[in-house]
Amino acid sequence: MGFSTNLQGKVAHEALLSRQEAELRLLETMKRCINIKVKCEKDYAAALSAVASQGMKIDRGDDLTGSVVCATWKTMMEELDNTAKLIRHNADNVENKVVDALNALCAEKRKVRKAYQEEHNRISHQFSQLSEEVNRKKVDYQKYLDLYKLMRCKFEEIYIKGGRGGRKLDEVRDKYQKACRKLHLTHNEYVLLLCEAAEFEKDYRTVLLPGLLEHQQSLQEAFVATWKQILQDIVSNSDLTSEKHCEIQKRINSSLESIKPAEEYKDFTEKYKTTPTEPVKFTFDESLVEDSAGKLLPNQLTVDNLTVEWLRNKLTELEASNKENQEKRIVLVNGHNSDSLVNGKPLSNEINNRLSVISLESSKKEVNELKCQERKMLKQIELIKSALNELGCEEVPSGCDISIDNQPAFIESPREQGDGSQSTLNKHLSAFDSHRLVKMLPNVLRKPFRRRSAPSSPIAPPRTKGRRESVPRSEGGDPVSLTTNKSLVDEEWFHGVLPREEVVRLLTTDGDFLVRETTRNDECQTVLSVCWGGHKHFIVQTTAEGHYRFEGPAFPSIRDLILYQFNSGLPVTQRSGAILYKPIPRERWELNNDDVILLDKIGRGNFGDVYRAQLKNSNDIVAVKTCRVTLPEEHKKKFLQEGRILKQYDHPNIVKLIGICVQKQPIMIVMELVPGGSLLTFLRKSASTLTENQLMKMCLDAAAGMRYLESKNCIHRDLAARNCLVGYNNIVKISDFGMSREEEEYIVSDGMKQIPIKWTAPEALNFGKYTSLCDVWSYGILCWEIFSRGGTPYSGMNNSKAREKIDGGYRMPAPENTPDEMYRLMLRCWEYKPENRPNFEQVYTVVETLCSAYRATFC
C-alpha cells in the first residue's frame, strides 16, 4: 500500500502536488519562525548577561563580609551568566545548522517537485498522443471504408450495364482497386496502432506511472526523515532540561543549601553588638500649671462642666476604637491558627510546607502593633474611667464662676434659636453651675423639636377620593408611627440599595411605597418609590439649609418628610398625584449589613470577594459573596439575580440562601458555608483517596439537585465541577446561579460572552437556545470531570477546536476506571439533538440504580 497503488488518479495527482506545495509553505514558515526564535534567544541571552553583570556589582566593602546569602547570590549570578552563554551557544547551533538544513531541504523539495511534475506530464502526454492517434486512425479507417463501398457499388453498376469491356469500366475498376488497397493498408495500420496503444497503456498503468509514484514516495519519505532530524536538532538545542542546564541548576541549589538563616547574622551581630538603648522618660512639666491656682494638677485629668462631656465622648471613642482594634487582632490570630485550614478542614502537609514564613512574620508584626495600640488606648481608658469614677454621683464641678440663672427661655425652647441652637447650647454650657447642669441638661435633650417649615404633628386633611381606608398600615403594627427614636435605616420600609427590579416586584397595588437609595453620576440619592398607575420614583430634594422636600414643606430628616407625606394624604407631586397608602416592609431575607461580620476572605468571584463571616444574632458561620461598589448598576443587578433565584429553593443538594444585604454598600449575598470548598479543587486534592463508590455518589447528588431545579423550570447554564461545592460527608451541592434563568426555554439576546464553551450544549452555542436539556449536556461533562478526578475536558484543544470536533461527532473517551454504564449515560447526555437526551428525572433514576447496584456489589 502506497503511492504506486493508491495515487494513480488525476485527483490524487493534483492532491499530491498540493501537498508538496503545502509542505514547502510549512518549510518557509518554519524558516521564518526559527530565525525569529534565534533572534529572541540571542536577545534573551544578552539580557541575561546584562542582568548577571548588574547583579555582580555588589558592595565589596566590609558590610557583607561573611554573608552566605551574598556568596550564594554571586554564585547565582555566575550561573545566570553561564545560562546565557549556553542559550547563546544553542542559538548559534540552530542558526548555523538547522537554518542551513532547512534551506537545503526546501530547495531540494522544490527541485524534486518540479522533476516529478515534468516526468508525470511527459508520460501522460505520451499516453494522450497515442490515444489521439488511435482515434485519428479510426476516423481514417471509417473514411476509407466508405470510399471502398462507393467504388465497389460503381464498379458493380457499370460492370452489369456495360458488359466486360470498355474504357469507362477500366477507369472504375482502377479506382475500385485503389480504394480497396487503401482500406486494407489502413486496416493493418489501425490493428498495429491498437496493439501498440494497448501495450503502452498497460506499461503506463503497471510500470511507468507506478514507478514514478513509488520513486516520489521514497523521496518524500527521505525528506520527512531529514525533516525529523532538523526538528530534533531544534528540540535538542531548546531543551531546558538538558544535562548542561541541570548541572547549572544543581550548582545553584548546592549554593542555596549553604544558607542557614540562624547563622547568617552571627558574625555581624558579634561584631556590632551594643548595649540596649536607654528608655526615654516623658514627664509632666509642672511649671505649666503653676498659675492655675491648684485647679489643674500634674498627671491628673480635670473633670468639671467644661470637660465632662468631652471626657465621656473621648471615652466612648476610645472604647469603640479599642473594640475594633481587638476584633482586628482576633482575626489575625485566628488567621495564624487557620492558615492550614480551608473552610474548616486541614490542608495537606505539602501545602503547609509551602506557607510563606515572611507572610506569617508580617502578620505577627501586625498583631504586635495592634497590641501596642491596644495598650495605649487601655491606659487612656483607664485614666478617664478613674477620673469619672472619682466623680461618682456628685455634682459636676464648675469650670468657671459665671452663672446663667437668667437663661430659662433657652432651656425651654432650644429649637427657637434656629439652626445655630446647638452651637448656642455649647456656648452656654460653660456658664451653667454644676447643680443646674445636672438637673436641666436631660430635660433639654428630652424636649421635642419645633419646626418652622412644617408642624411637628401635621393634621391629616380629609382622605382623597379613592383612598383605601381598609388597608392596614403594616403587618403586626404601624411602621410609620410618629416615634422619635428611629432613624431612617431602622424603618422597615427603608430598603437600602435594593435594585429597581426588586422594587417593582414588591409594589403591586396603588399606594404601596418604600424608600431606597441609588447612585446616579457617582452621587448617592434617596428615592421614594410608589405604585400609582404604574411605578413612580421620586428623588428626595435637598434644600440649601440641608433640609429635605418634594414639592411641599421641607423637613430636617428624610424620615420626617416621608411621615408627613404618609399622614397628610397629600400627593407627592401634583403632576403625579401619587399618594402614600401602605408602606411595604423589608422581606424576611433582606438582612442588615451590620448584622454580618466579615471574618476572612476565602475566595474571589466574578463580582467581588467571597468571605467567611458570622451572623451577629445567631453566631452562625456563613459564606458571604460581596459585590464591588465600583461595578456598574447593570452588573449589580446580575449579582443579585443569584439571590433572587436561590431564595425560593430548599434542597439538600442546592446551596442554601440565608439572606441578601442591601441596606448599604457593598451589597452582599449570605449563603450557607459549605466546608469542603469547590468540587473541582476537592477532586484534584483527593484524587488518590476517592473510591469509585464515592464518585458515583457525587454524580447522584448532582443529579438530585439538577432534578429539583428542572422541576422548578430553572436552567442553570453554568453547571461544572468548579461551580459545585462539597459539604460534610462529601455531599455535593449545586452553586453559582449567576447565569441561571427561571424559564422553560431561554434565548440569549446579549451575545455569547463569557460562555463556558466546553461545558455548553451545541444548540446553545450555535443558536443561543437554552433549555434544561442543555444542563443535561453539562451534567455529562460534570460526570466526566468527577470520574477523571478533576481532569480538564477536551485537554489539548482550545475552545474553537473543541467546538469544531463536537459538531463533527467527536465525544471524549471514558476516564480510566469509569463504569461502562456510567460512560453510556455520559454519551446519552452528549447526544447532538437535545430531544435524544434524557431529562434529569431519567438521569437521576439511572444513576440511583447504578449506585444501588454498585453498593450491593462492593459493600
Chain centroid, CA 591 distance in Å = 27
CA contacts within 13 A on the Cβ side of 223 = 22
Q: What is the CATH code for 679-858?
A: 1.10.510.10
How big is the chain by its Cα radius of gyration, in Å?
47
CA 471 to chain centroid, in Å, comes to 48
How far is Cα 545 from Cα 337, in angstroms, rounded to an integer?
53
What single letter denotes the amino acid at residue 618? S
Q: How far apart are CA 827 and CA 831, in angstroms?
A: 7
Quote the cell numbers at residue 857: 456489589
Q: Distance between CA atoms of 374 and 392, rounded to whole angstroms?
A: 26
The domains of the chain are located at: 10-130+199-236, 488-586, 591-672, 679-858
Q: Which three cell numbers stand for residue 795?
A: 485537554
Instruction: Report whether 725 contacts 733 (CB < 8 A).
Output: yes
Catalytic, out of 81, 512, 718, 736: 718
If one counts every other C-beta atom within 10 angstroms of the C-beta of residue 645, the result is 20
Other residues' Cβ atoms within 10 Å of the Cβ of residue 675? 16
Q: For residue 622, list its beta bridge partners.
A: 613, 672
Q: Is 608 annotated as a binding residue?
A: yes
Cell of 72: 550564594
The answer to whether the bond into 666 is cis (omega within 30° of 0) is: yes
Show the cell assigned to 62: 566590609
Active site residue 718: yes
Burial profile 703-736: b = 16 or more Cβ within 10 angstroms, e = fewer: bbbbbbbbeeebbbbbbbbbbbbbbeebbbbbbb
Per-residue buried b or exposed e for 159-180, using 16+ beta carbons within 10 Å of the residue's own CB:
eeeeeeeeeebeebeeebeebb
According to the model, what pLDDT value does residue 858 have? 59
User: What is the CATH topology of the domain spanning 591-672?
Assistant: Phosphorylase Kinase; domain 1 (3.30.200)
Instruction: Count CB atoms within 10 A of the CB of residue 275.
Output: 5
Query: Which neighbouring-strand residues pair with 520?
Result: 523
pLDDT of residue 305: 58
Check the annotation: does 555 bind a ligand. Answer: no
Distances (CA, A) of 216 to 24, 27, 104, 223, 827: 15, 18, 18, 10, 44
Residue 605 marked ligand-binding: yes
CA distance linking residue 513 with residue 583, whole number of Å: 5
- pLDDT score at 351: 45
Q: What is the pTM of this model?
A: 0.42
Report phi then psi at 325, rounded to 5.
-60, -45
Alpha helices in 338-433 (DSSP H): 349-353, 357-391, 408-412, 421-429
Cell of 238: 531548546
Same fold: 488-586 with 591-672: no
**Number of residues that make up the chain:** 859
604 is in an annotated binding site: yes
Q: Which residues of the chain have pLDDT under 50?
A: 340-345, 347-348, 350-351, 354-355, 391-483
CA distance 531 to 534: 6
Q: At what angle do helices 99-162 and 10-55 cross, to 10 degrees?
A: 170
Give the whole-angstrom CA distance, residue 180 versus residue 159: 17
Q: Is 398 helix (H, G, I), strand (E, B) or coil?
A: coil
| Residue 606, annotated as binding a ligand | yes
Residue 602 counted as an annotated binding residue: yes
Q: Is 116 left (phi over 0), alpha (psi -120 to 50) or beta?
A: alpha
315: which 3 cell numbers? 471615652
Q: Tell whether 533 is in a known binding site.
A: no
Pick the CATH number of 488-586 from 3.30.505.10, 2.60.40.10, 3.30.70.1560, 3.40.50.1000: 3.30.505.10
Q: How far apart are CA 662 and CA 626, in angstroms?
A: 11
Shortest CA distance to 231 belongs to which of 97, 117, 325? 97
Domain 10-130+199-236 belongs to what topology?
A: Substrate Binding Domain Of Dnak; Chain:A; Domain 2 (1.20.1270)
Residue 529 phi, psi dihedral angles, 5° rounding: -105, 130
**What are 145-153's contacts with CB under 8 Å, separation 24+?**
145/183, 147/179, 147/182, 147/183, 148/179, 148/180, 148/182, 148/183, 150/179, 151/175, 151/176, 151/178, 151/179, 151/180, 152/176, 152/179, 152/180
- Answer yes or no: is 284 a known binding residue: no
Residue 459, pLDDT score:
29
CB neighbours (10 Å) of residue 476? 7
Query: Is 610 annotated as contributing to ligand binding?
Result: yes
780 marked as part of a ligand binding site: no
